[in-house]
Amino acid sequence: MGTFRQISVEDAKVMMDKGNVTIIDIRDSESFEAAHIPRAVSISEKNVEEFIKTADKEKPLICYCYHGFSSQGAAGYFTQHGFKEVLSIEGGFEKWRTLYSSIKA
C-alpha cells in the first residue's frame, strides 16, 4: 500500500513544473470553475470511481481542497485505492492563491 504526506505549496509547484504528476481538486465544481491550479482535474463523488479506474497509480498524486484539511482525508482514501505516492497540499487552494494568484488556470 502507498503512503500519503503533506507537502508545502512551494514543493507542490516544483513537482508540477517538472510534470509527471496528477493534480486533483476536491472542492465543489463551482469553485473549480471559478479558479483552480493549472492542469488540475475536478474530482467529486460523481467521477471518483472512474478516476480511480483510469488514473496512473504509479504517478505522484497531488490533491488539494480549500485549506488543506479535507484533502488529507482524500489523500488517505486514494492511498487505500492503490496510489503509490499521494500528497496533500498544506494550506490548500487558498495558500496557493496567495502565492501564485498571478498564474491563470
Amino acid in position 93? F
Q: How far is CA 46 from CA 8, 10, 34, 50, in A?
A: 28, 30, 19, 9
Bridge partners of 6, per DSSP, are 88
Indicate which residue of 61, 65, 74, 75 is catalytic.
Answer: 65
CA distance 72 to 88: 6
Active site residue 63: no
54 phi, psi to nearest 5 deg: -105, -15
Residues designated catalytic: 65
